[in-house]
Chain A
Amino acid sequence: MSQKLAAPTTTSATDPAKPPRSGPRATIARGGLPPFQHFLDAYREDVWRFLVSSAGPEDAKDCFQETFIAALRAYPRLRADSNLKAWVLTIAHRKALDVHRRRAKGALPVAEITEASGGEGSSPAEARDETLWGAVHELPARQRSAILLRYVADLPHRDIATAIGCSEEAARRSLHEGLNKLRKVIA
């Protein structure tokens, strides 16, 4: 329970013309936070897809619970104009990171990421998916997170930077480097 709450408010000191508002699907009440259930309904699929892609289908279940329970506990302290999508994906990103760290320490069996596909009779498309996602999981943590937040969760660069705790330029670089490695594997 250590996520920093204030993180993704994304105050745009650099661009006052475009105040950061909550994600496109959040139904914000006049001046207040939406009821938590509406927030959960709006982002459950982004978070689920991100967590399955990052932590694998089994660990995703626990991560999903931990992510939204942590979000619920912190929820009333959020500013009403917070970027809710970036905020919840920041929490999800940290939960997924915990799973990867535990695996790296050998406390958990090696990722079950590839076990569902693969096997003898897999088609070329399945083999390609397996190679690609195997390579995604071999990436350094920051590159992997940047790629998943960008393509699976569809976050803009600015919010990726907030989620992984770096500058926007560093986020772009991580994304670029990660993609380059994947291209070598897939091409």
Chain B
Amino acid sequence: MSKKIEQLLRQGAPHIQAAGDEAVAAARRVSERAAAEGFADISYAPVDSPFGTLHAATTKRGLVRIAFPEESVESVLERLAQSLSPRIVQAPASLDLLKRELEEYFAGRRHEFGIPLDWSLTGPFGRRVLEMTAAIPYGGHLSYAEVAAEAGSPRGARAAGNALGSNPIPIVIPCHRVLRSGGVLGGYGGGVDRKRWLLELEGAL
């Protein structure tokens, strides 16, 4: 009889059939509320794009990370947890503005992003390079050497290339607009095909 009681207890109170679904819904409410009421430091969500599903993360200050589809969401979030804060929740509403702007951008209707950015993942030199990059107008491009010079770098094009290669917010910070001298495409964190695709979208090629 004792084993029987233990077995019954393990099943939980009679109403917890479908406990899985209800737990999922309850957890979703926790995440949404945590983001809306400011208990979470970072919100993330999947975002559709012509490249597949991107993942974007925002802090209270602004957009902090965009990950390409082939990046592991788990490890992107783990790195954010370690470098910024582990208070990370999935909360799509926090990224609605970004979704709208990206949609317009990919449709060719938006030439500049208006959402605020959070530079916390970037060091001082990288930030100067990326700010220079963000100032390159839609349809334009610069060379690595030009960006390095503009950023006041004694370290030259290679250092600028490294900073661009670790751009945490690709597409919105348009590192695809920086090419090798002579108009050769050069590298791209998301793959050169995507770089070409973005430059063609912008009419730069």
A-B contact pairs, 9 of them (CB 8 A): A36-B81, A38-B74, A40-B30, A48-B23, A49-B16, A133-B14, A136-B13, A151-B10, A152-B10
- A133 partner, pick from B13, B24, B85, beta carbons under 8 A: B13
What bracket does the count of chain A residues touching chain B fall in?
Answer: 35 or more
CB-CB contacts below 8 Å: B5-25 with A: 5-6, 8-10, 12-16, 19-20, 22-24
- B20 partner, pick from A33, A45, A68, beta carbons under 8 A: A45
Whether B61 is near chain A, meaning CB under 8 Å from some CB there, is no
CB-CB contacts below 8 Å: A119-154 with B: 126, 128-130, 132-133, 136, 147-148, 151-152, 154
Task: Please state if B26 and A65 are interface contacts (CB–CB under 8 Å).
Answer: yes
Please give the distance in Å from B3's CB to the nearest CB on chain A: 11
Say whether chain B's binding surface is mostly helix, strand, loop, or mixed: helix
Cα–Cα, bound, A129→B15 (Å): 10
Whether B164 is near chain A, meaning CB under 8 Å from some CB there, is no
A76-111 toward B: CB 8 Å interface, digit per residue (1/0)? 100000000000000000000000000000000000
Task: Please state if B20 and A27 are interface contacts (CB–CB under 8 Å).
Answer: no
Please give the distance in Å from A81's CB to the nearest CB on chain B: 14
Task: Please state if A34 and B15 are interface contacts (CB–CB under 8 Å).
Answer: no
Q: Which residues of B contact A (CB under 8 A)?
A: 1-2, 4-6, 8-10, 12-16, 19-20, 22-24, 26-27, 29-31, 33-34, 39-40, 44, 74, 77-82, 85-90
Say whether chain A's binding surface is mostly helix, strand, loop, or mixed: helix
CB-CB contacts below 8 Å: A39-96 with B: 40-41, 44-45, 47-49, 52-53, 56-57, 61, 64-65, 68-69, 72-73, 75-76
